[in-house]
Amino acid sequence: MLLRFNFEIPPIFVPGVWWGLVILWPLHALACFQAGLYRGIWLFASLPDLKRVLRAVAMSSAAVLLFYLWYRQNELQTVPRSQLLLYPMLLLLYMGGGRAAYRMWKEHRLYGGLVAQGKPVVVVGANNGAAMLVRGLERSAEWRVVGFVDDDPGKWGLELSGHPVLGGLESLPKVLEAVKASNVILAMPSDSGEACRRVTDLAVAAGAHVFTVPGLEDVMSGRVAISWIRPIEIEDLLGRGSVSIDTPHVAAMLAGKTVLVTGAGGSFGSELCRQVARFGPARLVFFENSELALHTLQQWFALHMPGVLQTVLLGDVKDTERLNEVFSRWRPQVVFHAAAYRNAPLIEVDNAWQAVRNNTLGTLRIAECAARFGAERFVLISTDKALNPTNVMGATQRLAEMVCEALHRQGGNMRFEMVRFGNLLGGVGSVIKKFQEQIAQGGPVTVTHPESRRYFMSILEAAQLVLEAAAMGKGGELFVVDMGDPVSIVDLARRMIQLGGFSEAQIRIEFTGLHPGEKLYEESLADEEQARETPHPKLRIARARAVDDDFLANLHPWFAESCQSDTQVREKLTRLVPEYQPASNIS
């Protein structure tokens, strides 16, 4: 009313002012309460608070309209119609602007002195994640954002959170020089591996240090904050994006069930246990041969998932008496068989018979035990080394698959599923861990062959896809995980040397020759197999060579033998697994 009458309200309108205050003030307070405005912390006022303000203004403006109509109907002095427009505008300015002004003043008092501090850094990617990152960095004395680079030309010259977008990714070296920065933070999607590699190469060539932020799944799970910065690692450059799985379908398979995982203490088995625990099993049974690995897993669950009912059991998958004891007592309904010897070079020399017993006989015994005690599903964790195997490890894993196929053909109520995938990032014996250790020691970094290529995936991705395949399977399927594009091992070594801040002149690469039984290239499907698609883009079903009817009958006498030499094992595997062709580099 003051604005309407140039701050001189005519006496005739004064009663309307007082009536309006008496009626509208409590109504507006009620509107603010209903909109949740009294729950917001002004220091963190943001878009959700603005939405609450708009809701309160809308309700209060409706009250003004009703007051206007009531006042006019009772033939009192009318309220100027301009109030219907001025009231919500001024209320929005006062309530929204007041909160914004308070936050600006408070943040300046708390963090204003940090703006000019910290190391200058260029953020790669002008997106929502980058905006979240900048808000976190503005409250840190360690970093000072000086600009962005992004491949979208439409963003060039614009500002994000008050910082300019200075150009595209290719202009990064010039931008770093112009703003006098020697640090780069990648705020890019986790599956943009090629772009990350390109930016990392440009930054390293310009002498900058490269950092990255957590993936969205880590932020959403609450494990880390978006502002948690770490040096970029080679896993970030391989472009293995996050996996989406049919969560309700997997939950229906696991919720309320007793689930047993063999090899539970291994790098893959432990992650599989963590993923299974997310879906509310009635009980998780950890079955493991290594005391140390089992203890480590038990302690992790006690700290991070204390509510999961767990049973921790030491045992050997070849020990029939122990298996009968475990299955008769706990009656697992779902069995994930991840226990296996998987170090191919180690198995190839003087350990072939032990691999047969552990990988194949162990699979047979636990699968038969699971069927005997009424398990619903049995999932074999296999390897891509079973594709046209050239080493004992791959051949014994293929033989384990054939065991499951033969048992499935015998009928029964238990569903057999097999899942193959390749090398795991960060797993035990991983080439990445080996390279990291060699670089830390000053080199040399040893690569078997300049043309060697391998497939890689993260342990988390593999565990999630195993659950998806298990829930999808109807029985007897051999699932193959899409591993993406193969990675050159020598290129991998070069990138890791660069990320370590060294040149090849400082840490040299040395070629040692292929390991016994090692392939130069890895395949995605065996020659005799044809794959068909599944509803999940990263899973296919392979149609393998049919198993003979007398396969298991011929296998049992071999397992009954006491010991076999490496040569005898290879000869027998060649007869049992026709696609097995021992490599010529075996001594």
Per residue in 78-119, pLDDT (tens digit) is: 667 777 778 778 877 777 777 777 666 665 565 454 444 568
Could you tell me the strand order of the sheet in which 209-212 lies?
143-149, 119-124, 183-186, 209-212, 230-231
Closest CA to 332 of 292, 364, 379, 297: 379
**For residues 484-495, average pLDDT:** 83
464-473 pLDDT, tens digit each: 999 999 999 9
**For residues 220-232, average pLDDT:** 52
**For residues 383-409, average pLDDT:** 92
Let me know: does 341 contact 296? Beta carbons within 8 Å.
no
Structure tokens at 240: 């293995």
**For residues 484-513, average pLDDT:** 83
Evaluate if residue 520 carries a pLDDT over 80: no
Tell me the CATH number of domain 116-232, given options 1.20.58.220, 3.40.50.2300, 3.40.50.720, 3.40.640.10: 3.40.50.720
Let me know: does 273 contact 288? Beta carbons within 8 Å.
no
What pLDDT was estimated at residue 468? Answer: 94
CB count in 10 Å sphere of residue 91: 18
What pLDDT was estimated at residue 584? Answer: 63
Distance CA 366, CA 454 (A): 31
385 is annotated as an active-site residue: yes
Distance CA 416, CA 414 (A): 6
Mean pLDDT computed over every residue of the chain: 82
261-290 pLDDT, tens digit each: 999 999 899 999 999 999 999 999 999 999
Evaluate if residue 500 carries a pLDDT over 70: yes
**For residues 319-328, average pLDDT:** 96
Q: What is the DSSP letter of 171?
A: G
What pLDDT was estimated at residue 454? Answer: 83
Distance CA 195, CA 200 (A): 8
What pLDDT was estimated at residue 323? Answer: 96
**For residues 55-68, average pLDDT:** 79
pLDDT band for position 220 (50/70/90)? very low
Evaluate if residue 391 carries a pLDDT over 80: yes
Evaluate if residue 235 carries a pLDDT over 90: no
What pLDDT was estimated at residue 335? Answer: 97
How many percent of the chain have pLDDT more than 70? 83
Threshold 0.75, pTM exceeds: no
- In the chain, list all ranges with CATH 3.40.50.720: 116-232, 247-424+457-484+523-576
346-376 pLDDT, tens digit each: 999 999 999 999 999 999 999 999 999 999 9
Choose the weakest-confidence range: 40-54, 414-428, 488-502, 538-552. 40-54
pLDDT band for position 44 (50/70/90)? very low
What pLDDT was estimated at residue 546? Answer: 83
pLDDT band for position 489 (50/70/90)? confident
What pLDDT was estimated at residue 190? Answer: 55
Distance CA 261, CA 189 (A): 33
Would you put residue 264 in left (φ > 0), alpha (ψ -120 to 50) or beta? alpha
How many percent of the chain have pLDDT more than 90? 31
Evaluate if residue 494 carries a pLDDT over 50: yes
Evaluate if residue 527 carries a pLDDT over 60: no
pLDDT band for position 59 (50/70/90)? confident
Choose the weakest-confidence range: 407-411, 443-447, 523-527. 523-527
Evaluate if residue 459 carries a pLDDT over 50: yes
Evaluate if residue 385 carries a pLDDT over 60: yes
Characterize the bridge pairing of strands 539-543 and 530-533: antiparallel
CA atoms within a 13 Å half-sphere pointing along the CA-CB vector of 88 = 16
Give the residue carrying structure tokens 């794959």: 531
- Burial annotation 107-124 (CB, 10 A radius, 16+ → b, else e): eeeeeeebeeebeebbbb
What pLDDT was estimated at residue 236? Answer: 63
Evaluate if residue 586 carries a pLDDT over 80: no
Catalytic option among 155, 385, 519, 572:
385
* CB contact set of 177 (below 8 Å; sequence gap of 6+): 206
Please give the CATH architecture assigned to the domain spanning 247-424+457-484+523-576: 3-Layer(aba) Sandwich (3.40)
Distance CA 97, CA 112 (A): 20
**Whats the size of the chain, residue-wise?**
587
